[in-house]
């Protein structure tokens, strides 16, 4: 999509009005970086498909999805996969032209934004959940209620992100630019006021909530000795920071594009380079969550066992069950029960012999 329409851009032409008023004479020439961008998209797609697929399988197969953080990470992986599945189509659009039709243009544009907005909404929900669990610590908010809230947040992320992407999806269609078909947003259908309001509400407002919550969380942890909470908070914090680092520069550049239009060709070329780099960095975010998930010791064992087909995971699960207090109590009761049964059988045998 064209950069002039905001962040919904999949082409490499950073158009700042490089033609004269009649649109016939090109005033500036600069590198489009199409091949670099396409190669980056392919690499991101491969790593993201592999990493997030293994992550989803590992979470569903070996983790307790009744734990709120694990459930959130699973939902994040699904949004990342949805975003990743759109990348091969943009690669074809870059290297050749759009050959998938108008309906696919709208659907894939919608999927692109659902993946972005859904991830940010879930990250905000994860941060708020950590805030209530560590700072507020209300007795009403039990583990079951937290899980129900997490499920409601996941459903809300789908609903809100789908509603938010409707403007972009419906305004997208196949256009002919310089005799090449491409999937772009129609300039006549773009409402810049709505777009930037959407950007503020779905990026900067959640970011402000995240910063506030983590400020309170870190302050609370400094005052307490609950070190067992540090690992979970660290994983969630790294996931949030990774999202901000990847997508923050891209959104800031889009906001800059709305207010700053340089006339010199050199500055236009520099902004074009910055745009290409920021977009690749933003798209690479879908590969990050599986790496951050491996910060947990158990998670590394799960993914390494999946990758190398190692029986180590079963042994680890067996050991963890024995170290689990609830499970060890069950084992102790079962052992005691078996001992009573054996004694009863021995007494019956003695009675029979005495007869």
Residue 310: band (very low, low, confident or very high) from pLDDT cuts 50, 70, 90: low
- Give the pLDDT of residue 38: 93
**Mean pLDDT to the nearest integer, 52-69:** 85
216 and 237, same domain (yes or no) = yes
Smallest Cα–Cα separation from 262: which of 278, 275, 280, 250? 275
Give this prediction's pTM.
0.76
Task: Spell out the long-range contacts of 214-220 with Cβ–Cβ below 8 A and sequence spacing 24 or more.
Answer: 214/127, 214/240, 216/131, 216/135, 217/130, 217/131, 217/134, 217/135, 220/134, 220/135
**Residue 9 within a domain:** yes
Q: Specify whether 210 is located in the same domain as 306.
A: yes
Q: Name the percent of the chain lying above pLDDT 70.
A: 69
The pLDDT, as a whole number, for residue 11 is 44
Residues 225 and 345 grouped into a single domain: no
Any domain includes 117: yes
Q: Is there a domain that residue 316 lies in?
A: no
Q: Give the pLDDT of residue 40.
A: 94
Instruction: For residues 231-253, give the mean pLDDT.
Output: 84
**319 within a domain of the structure (yes/no):** no
Does the pLDDT at position 315 exceed 80?
no
Mean of per-residue pLDDT scores for the chain: 76
Which range is least confidently modeled, 135-139, 220-224, 250-254?
A: 220-224
* Same-domain status, 255 and 338: no
Q: 246 with 355, same domain?
A: no
Q: Is residue 318 part of a domain?
A: no
Residue 187 shares a structural domain with residue 336: no
Give the range of the structural domain holding residue 276, as residue numbers without chain letter.
3-311
Tens digits of residue pLDDT in 38-58: 999 999 999 999 989 988 888
Residues 299, 331, single domain; the answer is no
Looking at the domain assignment, is residue 75 inside a domain? yes
Q: Are 347 and 204 within one domain?
A: no
Question: Is the pLDDT confidence value at 36 over 60?
Answer: yes
189: CB partners within 8 A, 6+ apart? 170, 171
47, part of any domain: yes
pLDDT at 17 over 60: no
Choose between 58 and 339: higher pLDDT: 58
Residue-wise pLDDT for 252-294, tens only, equals: 888 887 777 777 888 888 888 898 999 999 999 999 888 887 7
pLDDT-derived band at 156, boundaries 50, 70, 90: very high
Same-domain check for residues 219 and 334:
no
CA distance 154 to 245: 23
Task: Kindly state whether residues 31 and 167 are assigned to the same domain.
Answer: yes
Same domain, 197 and 344: no
Choose from 80-84, 129-133, 347-351 the range with maximum mean pLDDT.
Answer: 80-84
SS3 142: coil
Q: Give the model's confidence band at 355: pLDDT under 50 very low, under 70 low, under 90 confident, else very high.
A: very low
* Number of domains comprising the chain: 2
CATH of the domain at 137: 1.20.1070.10
Same structural domain, 264 and 183:
yes
Residue 317 in domain? no
């Amino acid at each position: 999509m064209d950069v002039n329409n905001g962040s919904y851009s999949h082409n490499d032409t950073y158009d700042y009005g490089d033609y004269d008023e009649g649109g016939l004479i090109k005033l500036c020439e600069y590198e489009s970086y199409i091949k670099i961008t396409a190669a980056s998209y392919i690499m991101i797609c491969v790593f993201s498909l592999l990493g997030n697929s293994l992550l989803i399988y590992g979470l569903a197969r070996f983790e307790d999805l009744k734990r709120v953080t694990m459930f959130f990470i699973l939902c994040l992986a699904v949004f990342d996969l949805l975003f990743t599945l759109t990348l091969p189509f943009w690669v074809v659009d870059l290297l050749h032209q759009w050959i998938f039709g108008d309906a696919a243009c709208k659907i894939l544009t919608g999927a692109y934004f659902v993946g972005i907005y859904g991830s940010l909404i879930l990250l905000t929900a994860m941060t708020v959940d950590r805030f209530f669990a560590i700072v507020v610590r209300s007795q009403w908010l039990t583990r079951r209620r937290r899980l129900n809230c997490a499920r409601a947040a996941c459903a809300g992320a789908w609903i809100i992100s789908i509603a938010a992407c409707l403007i972009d999806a419906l305004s997208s269609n196949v256009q002919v630019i310089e005799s090449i078909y491409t999937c772009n947003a129609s300039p006549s259908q773009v409402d810049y006021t709505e777009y930037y309001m959407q950007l503020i509400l779905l990026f900067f407002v959640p970011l402000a909530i995240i910063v506030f919550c983590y400020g309170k969380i870190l302050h609370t942890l400094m005052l307490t000795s609950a070190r067992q909470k540090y690992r979970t908070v660290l994983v969630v914090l790294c996931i949030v920071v990774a999202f901000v680092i990847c997508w923050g520069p891209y959104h800031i550049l889009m906001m800059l594009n709305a207010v700053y239009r340089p006339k010199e060709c050199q500055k236009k070329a520099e902004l074009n380079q910055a745009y290409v780099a920021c977009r690749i960095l933003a798209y690479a975010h879908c590969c990050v969550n599986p790496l951050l998930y491996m910060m947990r010791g158990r998670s590394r064992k799960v993914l390494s066992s999946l990758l190398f087909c190692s029986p180590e995971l079963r042994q680890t699960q067996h050991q963890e069950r024995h170290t689990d207090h609830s499970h060890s109590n069950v084992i102790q009761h079962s052992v005691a029960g078996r001992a009573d049964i054996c004694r009863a059988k021995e007494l019956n045998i003695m009675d029979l012999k005495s007869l």
